[in-house]
Amino acid sequence: MKIRELLENADNIDEFLSNIRSIRDKYSNVNLDFIMDSDDCMLIDSISLPEHMQKQGIGTDIMREIVDVADKFKKSIKVQVHSYNDDYENDIGQDKLEEWYSRFGFVRKGYDVSDNPVMVRHPQNQNN
């Protein structure tokens, strides 16, 4: 890869991460942790809402914003699906959580070392 391509990619990643951070800041009560892995893929480490914020469409709104940004910047998203979150002491169920992610285009690609499903979503075409 040429230096120019490396720099353009770095700018793209910085702008992408800035957009994702603004989503996290917008929803301050939500736990949203993520990193970029070595494959230039966004890994969602944690996304969870306090119980009083659940079942109101807030998580769906957040995920829609995340996938829109990922599509805009042509980034894949990976998530290790585990239904229990220590921060909020609730368990919505593994099957329900996988079904929820699949609504946004995530597909199961295997399992992590703890035997939790790993789901991936590749960028979708945008009609602009």
Report the CATH number of the 3-121 domain: 3.40.630.30
pLDDT band at 108; cut points 50, 70, 90: very high
Helical residues (DSSP H) of the chain, grouped into ranges: 3-26, 58-72, 94-102
What six digits make up the tokens of 40?
């230039």
Q: How far is CA 10 from CA 25, 32, 36, in A?
A: 22, 22, 12
State the pTM of this model: 0.76
CB atoms closer than 10 angstroms to residue 20:
22
What is the structure's pLDDT at 1?
A: 43
Q: Are strands 77-80 and 42-48 parallel, antiparallel or unpaired?
A: parallel
Please provide residue 10's backbone torsions phi and psi, each rounded to the nearest 5 degrees. Answer: -65, -45
Of the ranges 30-34, 69-73, 87-91, the best mean pLDDT one: 69-73
pLDDT (tens digit per residue) in 10-38: 567 778 888 888 888 888 888 888 887 76
| Domain chopping of the chain, boundaries | 3-121
pLDDT band at 127; cut points 50, 70, 90: low
Sign of CA dihedral 38, 16, 102, 95: positive
What six digits make up the tokens of 5?
């391509």
In 3D space, the residue among 6, 25, 119, 125 whose CA is nearest the CA of residue 72 turns out to be 125
- For residues 10 and 8, give the distance between their C-alpha atoms in angstroms, rounded to a whole number: 5
pLDDT band at 88; cut points 50, 70, 90: very low
Q: Reduced to 3 states, what is the DSSP secondary structure of residue 36? A: strand
Strand partners, 79: 44, 119
